[in-house]
Amino acid sequence: MSIVFNKTKWTFTLQTRNSSYQLQIGNLNYLMHLYYGPSLEDADLSYQIMQYDRGFSGNPYDSRYQRTFSLDAQPQEFPTQQQGDFRVPSIQVVNADGSRAFDGRFQSYQISDGKYRLKDLPTCFATENDHVQTLEILLEDAVSKVQVTLFYAVFEETDVITRAVRVTNGGTGTIHLQRIMSACLDFLNGAGYDLVSFPGRYGQERQVERQKLTHHVHTIQSVRGTSSHQQNPFLILCDHDATEDHGDCYGMAFLYSGNFLAEVELDQYDQLRVLMGIHPKQFDFALAPGESFEGPEVLMAFSAQGLTGLSHLYHDFFRTNLCKSKYMRETRPILINTWEAAFMDFDDRKLVEIAKSAQQLGVDLLVMDDGWFGKRDDDNSGLGDWVVNTNKIKCGLDTLVRQINDLGMQFGIWFEPEMVSEDSDLYRAHPDWVMEIPGRHAVRSRNQLVLDLTRRDVQDYLIRSVNQVLDSANIVYMKWDINRSITDIWSNALPPERQGEVYHRYVLGLYRVMDRIINTHPDILFEGCSGGGGRYDPAMLTFYPQYWASDNTKPLDRLKLHYGTSFLYPISSMGAHVSESSPHVPLKTKAVVSMCGTFGYELDATRLNADEIAVCREQTELFRTYYPIIFFGDYYRLTDPFQTGNFTAWMSVTKDRSAALVSVVVTNLTVNGPQEYLHLKGLDAKRRYRVGDKNLVLSGAALMHAGLPIPREVPEFSSMQFYLEAVENVPTEH
Ligand code: DGJ
């Protein structure tokens, strides 16, 4: 049983393989949080809660003579509104009578097998091999009759607990929901934790920041209408001394692609509260009697095995429980993308030329990026007109794809469905389809406007026009791009009093469009993109198996970017290509870096000389050999590229620990420096491994504890890959 209700103690224990989570129907029927951490089975942890008369921390009316009970000093599952808890709340609602209060008390619970469902939001799922149970708890405010259902799904084997929330208006008048956090994690003592977050910017996504918690509210957020380059909807709380291999680490990842907020509050008593949900900025959702609102899902994981342990839990979970695409299991093609080779300056002949040259490299698929549609010779026009430009693709799309297929290559295409250019037939026909506040000019960004995806007619236009192109030729890949943040929050289709719903309705509209395009094309490989990795979030990965990690293809920058991304996202999701940027870095190193990802090319293959073609050919062959280790193995960060050092190194090990691939990039060689040894990870200490094609056989223990010497007589920016294979019955030399 993954969920146990103790009828005497009134505790619910959520049990995964290595973690326990406990809550209790506590004093006055408030839902108390008791514990999240290493597995404790069904111990009753309510003894942890101490109650004191705390000055300036009020008491609920029904405990007024018992001054020791204050919600301000109690760990809760769903912090209330205006009940004497002055910390950040889970909910803010304006009731039908204008009052702003929510006093949620336990009403009922239900435990069932399988995973709960949400109506319009993407969620993770249970496979037939998973043992999953759901706990639903109903809270109600006795006066307003507003009800809150808390959902918990326990993925026992994978050590993941998911949470989501539903608010229902059980009263008789319309209410306004102005804040709803999907998950809350209260720690009785949180002073010893660090917060790890993943800030960035365009071209430098998901860098890593770790800070010691101080007594204030730390926020991680996006108010850009998308999950953004600037912050990722993910955080880690870890022991102050946690390392890659040791220490308690908690992760919270949000399955949502719009505005989000995570608040981490260390309070006056060193209690720690972590909230995660939709950002309340310009959020005001009206609920008529009987209507409900669902808050997106949070994926929580706990590992006592340090940051690597936590990453492994998420990687495994993302690979099996997040995206249903067949490409999660099947081998994905190696692609070449035309963007950095030709930008918008191409025609059908040029594309066939690139495909011919790429085929020599061992590439499987040509992606025709931006510029093939409408009137699109630069980025000032054309978006929205999803019709092939026959001045460029003179032979027509179907014939072009056939020509490419005849070369033995597959074909993929680029779209940016959510946007429109003013200079487009779509805008001229439907100027009211954009987000623009009446009487004002909408903010331009890349000189494009945002389509109002809250509208059904806009959604249906996109579904129809994108599907028409996808079905018109043998297209096996689509890159879905979005190149600006969202502003001018206004929908012409909604009355003034419902404009506070626009941000969220945009995201719901987007998910509907994605569902109708992506899930109706199960054979197409979809890759997400937002000016690089701007909307690379867990909800997007329910649709796309891979995401273009950044427009920055400089290999040394990519080392940091891949490192940061790897804390949550599996390597198989990171779009990474060899490009012409950083000419001083050898092609081989670029390939080694891109193999920490989906691997492909972003260059003009027609300009490569014979030597370069041979190098690339060797790279594509190697990638195919290493594919199972990279895509399905366990990934280890061996060095931190944010620290100065001579090398950046990482490795992947097959699940059965029979093979591994170690990658090293020489980033900065200090003159006459010390010899360095790389301590490998994840190997079987007792087995012996052949290192590369050398006649060197070493035990896993030696490789992990004594380390592998990294040759120093190598040029800066060069790279090395060591393939390790477990060998049996080979006499030990070392
Ligand atoms: C931004 C993407 O990140 C690039 O790869 C490219 O597709 C351009 N958009 C095209 O406009």
Alpha-carbon radius of gyration of the chain? 27
**Cα distances (angstroms) measured from residue 278 to each of 257, 347, 540, 654, 695:** 10, 44, 16, 37, 56
- Annotated catalytic residue: which of 72, 130, 551, 634? 551
pLDDT band at 706 (very low <50, low <70, confident <90, very high): very high
pLDDT, mean over the chain: 96
pLDDT band at 385 (very low <50, low <70, confident <90, very high): very high
What is the DSSP-derived secondary structure letter of residue 515? H
Tell me how far the alpha carbon of residue 672 lies from the centroid of ligand 1, in angstroms: 43
Asked if the model's pLDDT at residue 733 lies above 80, the reply is: no
| 483 in contact with ligand 1, CB cutoff 6 A | yes
Which whole number is the average pLDDT over 564-587?
A: 97
Asked if the model's pLDDT at residue 730 lies above 90, the reply is: no
CB 252 within 8 A of CB 162: no
pLDDT band at 232 (very low <50, low <70, confident <90, very high): very high
Residue 703 structure tokens: 């490789």
| 339 in contact with ligand 1, CB cutoff 6 A | yes
Residues in the chain: 734
| 533 in contact with ligand 1, CB cutoff 6 A | no
Hey, which bits of 430-572 come out as E strands? 449-450, 477-480, 525-528, 546-548
Which whole number is the average pLDDT over 416-436?
A: 98
Amino acid at 663: S
- CA pair distance 606, 549, nearest whole angstrom: 25
**Residues 516, 521, 527, CA angle at the centre, nearest 5°?**
90
| 373 in contact with ligand 1, CB cutoff 6 A | no
Tell me how far the alpha carbon of residue 443 lies from the centroid of ligand 1, in angstroms: 20
Q: What is the pLDDT of residue 653?
A: 98
| 250 in contact with ligand 1, CB cutoff 6 A | no
Tell me how far the alpha carbon of residue 103 lies from the centroid of ligand 1, in angstroms: 48
pLDDT band at 41 (very low <50, low <70, confident <90, very high): confident
Asked if the model's pLDDT at residue 236 lies above 70, the reply is: yes
Hey, which bits of 469-524 come out as E strands? 477-480
Tell me how far the alpha carbon of residue 343 lies from the centroid of ligand 1, in angstroms: 9
Q: Which tens digits make up the pLDDT trace of 552-565?
A: 999 999 999 999 99
| 294 in contact with ligand 1, CB cutoff 6 A | no
- CA pair distance 665, 651, nearest whole angstrom: 12
CB 508 within 8 A of CB 295: no
Alpha carbons within 13 A on the beta-carbon side of 616: 30
From 229, 551, 558, mutation site for ligand 1 pocket: most ligand atoms within 8 A of C-beta: 551
Which whole number is the average pLDDT over 159-185?
A: 98
CB 2 within 8 A of CB 131: yes
Q: What is the pLDDT of residue 110?
A: 98
| 604 in contact with ligand 1, CB cutoff 6 A | no
- Give yes or no: 481 in active site: yes
Q: What is the pLDDT of residue 669?
A: 87
Residue showing tokens 């209060």 = 101
Tell me how far the alpha carbon of residue 401 lies from the centroid of ligand 1, in angstroms: 21
Asked if the model's pLDDT at residue 226 lies above 80, the reply is: yes
Q: What is the pLDDT of residue 1?
A: 75
Residue predicted with more confidence, 694 or 656: 656
Query: Bridge-partner residues for 295, per DSSP?
Result: 165
- CA pair distance 162, 711, nearest whole angstrom: 45
In this structure, the residue with its CA closest to atom 11 of ligand 1 is 370
| 414 in contact with ligand 1, CB cutoff 6 A | yes
Q: Which tens digits make up the pLDDT trace of 465-516?
A: 999 999 999 999 999 999 999 999 999 999 999 999 999 999 999 999 999 9
From 335, 416, 481, mutation site for ligand 1 pocket: most ligand atoms within 8 A of C-beta: 481
Q: Is the pTM of this model over 0.95?
A: yes
- CA pair distance 202, 575, nearest whole angstrom: 15
Asked if the model's pLDDT at residue 115 lies above 60, the reply is: yes
- CA pair distance 413, 337, nearest whole angstrom: 9
Residue 310 structure tokens: 């936590």
Q: What is the pLDDT of residue 731?
A: 55
Q: Which tens digits make up the pLDDT trace of 606-644?
A: 999 999 999 999 999 999 999 999 999 999 999 999 998
Tell me how far the alpha carbon of residue 377 lies from the centroid of ligand 1, in angstroms: 14
| 205 in contact with ligand 1, CB cutoff 6 A | no
- CA pair distance 370, 529, nearest whole angstrom: 12
- Give yes or no: 557 in active site: no
> Can you spell out the DSSP letters for 60-122?
-GGGTT-TT--GGGS-BSS--BSSS--S--SEEEE-TTS---B--EEEEEEEEES----SSS-
Which whole number is the average pLDDT over 56-77?
A: 93
Q: What is the pLDDT of residue 26?
A: 95
